[in-house]
Chains A and B, each alone.
Chain A
Amino acid sequence: MSKFESGSLEEIQSWVSSCIEDQKAFRICGNGTRFVTKVSGNSESISSNILSMQKLNGTRFFDPDDMVVGVEAGMSIRTLQKMLAERNMMLPANPWFPDSCIGSVVACNDFGPNRMNMGGLRDCIIGIEYINGKGEIVNAGGKVVKNVSGYDLTRMMLGSQGGLGVITAINFKVMPLPVEPHGMHGIFKDEAWLPQVGEIHKRRIPLDWIQALLTPDLSWILGLGYSGNALNRNRIESEIREVFGKTLDVHPEGGSFPGQKFTPGEQRFGGFLKAIRDAWEMEDSHFHVFATLPTEEILCFPFEKFRKENFKITVHPTGGDIHFMLKSTDMKKQLQYLEKIKSVLVHSESKLRWVSAANEGSFQELGRFGVANGYFLTQRLKRHLDPSGVFFAPYYDLEFDA
Chain B
Amino acid sequence: MSFGRNIRGECERILGKEWVKDDPVTLYTYRCDGLTLYTAPPMGVLFPGTVEELVSVVKLLYQHKISFIARGAGTGLSGGAVPQEGSVIIEMARFKEVHEVDWINRTITVGPGVINLRITEHVHSKGYHYAPDPSSQKACTIGGNVAENSGGPHTLKYGVTVNHVLGLEMVLPDGEHVKLGGNHLGMPGPDLLGLVIGSEGTFGIITKIICRLTPNPEKAVTMLGIYKSVHEACESVSSITRHGIIPAAMEMLDKITISAVEKALKPGFPLDAEAVLIVELDGLTDGLDNDAEFVEKLLKKSGATKVNRARDEAERAKIWRARKEAFGAIGQISPSYYVQDGVIPRSKLPKVLDEIAEIGKKHGLTVANVFHAGDGNLHPLILYNYENPEEVEKSHLIGEEILSSCIRHGGTLSGEHGIGIEKAEWMADLYPRSSLDNMQNVRAFFNPENLLNPGKLFPQPGRCSESKSGTSPQNFPALDKSKMVAAKSGIAV
Instruction: Name A's B-contacting residues (CB within 8 A).
Output: 63, 65-68, 88-89, 109, 111, 115-116, 119-120, 122-123, 132, 136-140, 142-161, 163-164, 175-177, 179, 201, 204, 206, 228-236, 292-296, 299, 319-321, 349, 351, 353, 370-375, 377-378, 380-381, 384-385, 395
Query: From residue B136, how far is it (CB to closest CB) to chain A in Å?
Result: 15
Contacting B195 at CB < 8 Å: which of A138, A152, A201, A299? Answer: A152
Q: Is the beta-carbon distance between A372 and B242 smaller than 8 angstroms?
A: no
10 A-B pairs closest in CB distance: A155-B194, A176-B244, A232-B287, A231-B287, A292-B186, A235-B286, A204-B215, A372-B187, A349-B182, A136-B434
Q: Is the CB of A349 within 8 A of B345?
A: no
Give the interface centre of B149, B430, B434 by most chain A CB atoms within 10 Å. Answer: B434
Contact of A294 among B105, B162, B437 (CB under 8 A): B105
Contacts from B to A (Cβ < 8 Å)? 102, 104-106, 127, 148-149, 151, 155, 159-160, 162-163, 167, 178-195, 197-199, 215-216, 238, 241-242, 244-246, 283-288, 290-291, 343-347, 372, 375-377, 410-419, 423, 427, 430-432, 434-439, 441-445, 457
A66, B286: Cβ atoms closer than 8 Å: no
Cα(A151)–Cα(B427), bound, Å:
11
Is there contact, CB below 8 Å, between A232 and B190? no
Contact B244 A153 (CB under 8 A): no
CB neighbours (8 Å) of B241 from chain A are 65, 67
Q: Which of A68, A163, A321 contacts B345 (CB 8 A)?
A: A68
Task: Please give the distance in Å from B129's CB to the nearest CB on chain A.
Answer: 12
| A149 with B162: CB separation less than 8 A | no
A65, B242: Cβ atoms closer than 8 Å: yes
Question: What is the CB-to-nearest-CB distance from A165 to chain B, in angstroms, rounded to a whole number?
Answer: 9
**Distance between Cα atoms of A337 and B313 in the complex (Å):** 56
Q: Within 8 Å CB of A384, what residues of B? A: 441, 444-445
Write out the residue numbers on chain B whose beta carbons fall within 8 Å of the beta carbon of A139. Answer: 431-432, 435
Most interface-central of A65, A88, A144 (chain B CB within 10 A): A144
A211 and B160 CA atoms in complex are apart in Å by 27
Contact A148 B183, beta carbon cutoff 8 Å: no
Most chain A Cβ neighbours within 10 Å, of B178, B182, B184, B376:
B184
A372 is contacted by which of B102, B189, B413, B415 (Cβ under 8 Å)?
A: B189
Q: Cα distance A384–B189 when bound, in Å?
A: 16
For B416, list chain A residues within 8 Å (CB): 146, 148
A selection of 18 A-B contacts at a CB cut-off of 8 Å is A65-B241, A115-B185, A136-B438, A144-B375, A146-B376, A146-B377, A148-B149, A148-B416, A151-B443, A152-B197, A155-B195, A175-B246, A179-B244, A319-B185, A372-B188, A372-B189, A373-B167, A384-B441
The residue in B189, B192, B238, B284 that gathers the most chain A C-beta atoms within 10 A of its C-beta is B189
Q: Are B189 and A295 neighbours in the complex by a CB distance under 8 Å?
A: no
Query: What A residues does B106 contact at CB under 8 A?
Result: 295, 319
Task: Quote the shortest CB–CB distance from A17 to chain B (angstroms).
Answer: 12
Q: Are A372 and B376 in contact (CB under 8 A)?
A: no
Instruction: Using CB atoms, name the residue of chain B closest to A158.
Output: B191
Instruction: Indicate the member of A143, A156, A229, A384 with the most B CB atoms within 10 Å.
Output: A156
CB distance from A396 to the nearest CB of B (A): 8
Is A374 in contact with B180, judged by CB distance below 8 angstroms? yes
- B445 in contact with A232 (CB, 8 Å): no
Whole-angstrom CA separation of A176 from B186 in the bound complex? 24
- Give chain A residues whose Cβ lies under 8 Å from the Cβ of B419: 148-150
Q: Across the interface, which residues of B come within 8 angstroms of A295, CB to CB?
A: 104-106, 184
Closest Cβ of chain A to B106, distance in Å, is 8
CB distance from B185 to the nearest CB of A (A): 6
Give the contacting residue for A143; candidates B187, B283, B345; CB below 8 A.
Answer: B345
A176 and B246 contact, CB distance less than 8 A: yes
- Across-interface contacts of B291 in A (CB, < 8 A): 229
Task: Say yes or no: B104 contacts A143, CB within 8 Å.
Answer: no
C-alpha gap A236/B218 in the complex (Å): 13
Whether A144 pairs with B345 at a CB distance below 8 angstroms is yes
Q: With contacts A149-B414, A179-B244, A228-B283 known, what are 9 further pairs, Cβ within 8 A?
A: A66-B376, A123-B163, A146-B155, A148-B415, A149-B412, A156-B194, A156-B195, A320-B185, A372-B188
**B343 pairs with A373, CB closer than 8 A:** no
Instruction: Assess the A144–B287 pair: CB atoms within 8 A.
Output: no
- Given the interface pairs A146-B372, A231-B286, the reply to whether A138 lies near B412 with Cβ below 8 Å is no
- Determine whether the beta carbon of A151 is less than 8 Å from that of B445: no
Cα separation A176 to B167 with both chains bound (whole Å): 29
A63-B347, A156-B195 as given contacts; A349 in contact with B183, CB under 8 Å = yes
Which of these, B178, B181, B195, contacts A151 with CB under 8 Å?
B195
Given known A-B contacts A146-B160, A232-B286, A374-B180, A151 and B442 have beta carbons under 8 A apart: yes
Quote the shortest CB–CB distance from B468 to chain A (angstroms). Answer: 14
The residue that B439 contacts in the complex, of A89, A151, A377, with Cβ under 8 A, is A151
Bound-state CA distance A155–B286 (Å) is 37
CB of B187 within 8 A of CB of A351, answer: yes
Nearest A residue to B432 by beta-carbon distance?
A139
In the complex, A148→B283 CA distance in Å?
28
Q: Contact check, B414 vs A381: say whether CB atoms are below 8 A apart.
A: no
Instruction: Report the Cα distance A231→B155, complex, angstroms.
Output: 26
Q: Which residues of chain A are near B181, meaning CB under 8 Å?
A: 372-374
CB distance from A232 to the nearest CB of B (A): 3
Instruction: Please tell me if the beta carbons of B189 and A147 are within 8 angstroms of each other in the complex.
Output: no
Chain B residues with CB under 8 Å of A88's CB are: 244
Contact A144 B284 (CB under 8 A): no
Taking CB atoms, residues of chain B closer than 8 Å to A349 are 182-184, 187
**B167 CB to nearest chain A CB (Å):** 7
Chain B residues contacting A144 (CB-CB under 8 Å) are 343-345, 375-376, 410-412, 415
Asked if residues A146 and B185 are in contact (CB atoms below 8 Å), the reply is no
B415 and chain A: residue at smallest CB distance: A146
Give chain B nearest CB distance to A354 CB in angstroms: 10
Residues of B contacting A319 in the complex (Cβ-Cβ under 8 angstroms)? 105-106, 184-185
Task: Give A66 to B163 CA distance when docked, in angstroms.
Answer: 20
Most buried by B among A149, A319, A349: A149
Name the residue on A nearest B180 (C-beta): A374
CA distance A100 to B344 in the complex (A): 31
Q: Contacts of B435 on A, CB cut-off 8 Å?
A: 138-140, 150, 153
What's the minimum C-beta distance from A237 to chain B, rounded to whole angstroms? 11
- Known interface pairs A153-B195, A228-B287. Does A294 touch B184 (Cβ–Cβ under 8 Å)? yes
Expressed in whole angstroms, the Cα–Cα distance for A231 and B289 within the complex equals 10
Q: Is the CB of A375 within 8 A of B189?
A: yes
Contact A151 B198, beta carbon cutoff 8 Å? yes
